[in-house]
Structure 1
């Protein structure tokens, strides 16, 4: 059976996004350099502008892709939010660029127009939480968006800790860090 070979344009776009991921995660949007992204992708600046229109367009496409990959890799499980939070924590450990890009997005693109793909994904997740609350699976002490936000931030707690705080908790080993996330979300959704 023949292997699928993506069209050259898809392969180029994927190489640009991969190079951009490393650059943006390390330096953010303002610090990123199109020249470095082009060199790392074995491409040129013209290709970046052709596919994404601008450096901001490239960042937005990368962030939307990263969020979609996270949702796909770790589907929301309203029947077991603590386990979901543990899996999300694991995803952030495996993919440290994801929470870094989220931080850069919040800092540097927060005033930009919302990315529709992310708005849609978040709305669907909030609707799932609301359905679970109405069914009595999840407590109603928090609004659906607030409950989901708390779970997401607890899952990202270790990934987003400042170095000064992280130094205070170095003794907490990785398996225990994951368990802290699960335990905190368990307490959050208890009774």
Structure 2
């Protein structure tokens, strides 16, 4: 890889890291490209050159973060309590992801789901449904509803002061024991 390509990739990485902080703090509407560029140590024109717009930068950033969680925390339908616990850990390790997702929904509407998130969700629902069909986990809930409950339990501690990882895992254990 030549120096120009290395510089381009380094600049993009710096912009994405600076944007993660900025968007998590201020949302899409409140984020400022001049602050992102300054923190990344480059000209704000680079944002437009690499991402097309502030919204394009946000979209790319959200896709990268969703892909990271999907890769690092794969669905385990045979162990939904463990999956909920690992999601909880991932969100605790990188709480900015939850803020990005919240800002996306607040500013784009609750019906607007980024395609990487929608695709990952479809895959997870299919995995849960297959485990239910095989009799490996409870079929007392629709696969979509069960996945929603598990995922929302993993987020619970971020909106409920007395919730913690143990509560999340125990709650999902009781849920799938139905």
TM-score (norm 2): 0.91
Q: Which residue of 2 aligns with 1:75?
A: 74
Q: Which runs of 5+ in 2 are unaligned?
A: none
Task: Report the equivalent of 1:183.
Answer: 170
8-17 or 76-85, which deviates more: 8-17
Point out where structure 1 has 5 or more consecutive residues left out of the alignment: 1-5
Q: Quote the offset at 1:96 in angstroms.
A: 1.1
Is 1:92 aligned to 2:79, yes or no? Answer: no
Q: Distance in 2 between matches of 1:112 and 1:38?
A: 31
Q: What is the distance in 1 between the residues matched to 2:17 and 2:67?
A: 15
Q: Which residue of 2 aligns with 1:47?
A: 46
Deviation at 1:114, TM superposition (A): 4.0
**Residue by residue, what CA displacement relative to the aligned partner does 1:46-95 show, whole Å, maximum 9, x if unpaired?**
11111111111111111111111111111111110001111111111111
- Describe the SS at the equivalent of 2:120: helix
Distance of 2:124 and 2:6 partners within structure 1: 33
| Contact preservation (8 Å) 2:22, 2:31 | yes
Q: What is the CA-CA distance between 1:110 and the residue it aligns to? A: 2.7
Displacement, 1:118? Answer: 2.2
Deviates more, 1:105-114 or 1:55-64: 105-114
What secondary structure sits across from 1:80 in the alignment?
helix
Q: Normalising by structure 1, report the TM-score.
A: 0.85
1:156 and 2:124 correspond: no
| Number of residue pairs aligned between Structure 1 and Structure 2 | 174
Instruction: State how far apart, in whole Å, the 1-side matches of 2:41 and 2:134 are.
Output: 52
- Greater helix share, structure number: 2
User: Aligned equivalents of 1:113 and 1:46: distance in 2?
Assistant: 28
Query: How is 1:6-155 mapped onto 2 (pairs within 5 angstroms)?
Result: 7-110=6-109, 114-155=113-154
2:135, 2:115 → 1: CA distance?
30
Q: Distance in 2 between the 1:82 and 1:102 partners?
A: 23
The two structures, once aligned, show a CA RMSD in angstroms of 1.7
Q: Distance in 2 between matches of 1:79 and 1:40?
A: 43
Cα–Cα, structure 1 residues 47 and 112, in superposed 2: closer, same or farther, change >3 Å?
A: farther
Provide the rounded CA distance (Å) in 1 between the counterparts of 2:38 and 2:110.
Answer: 30
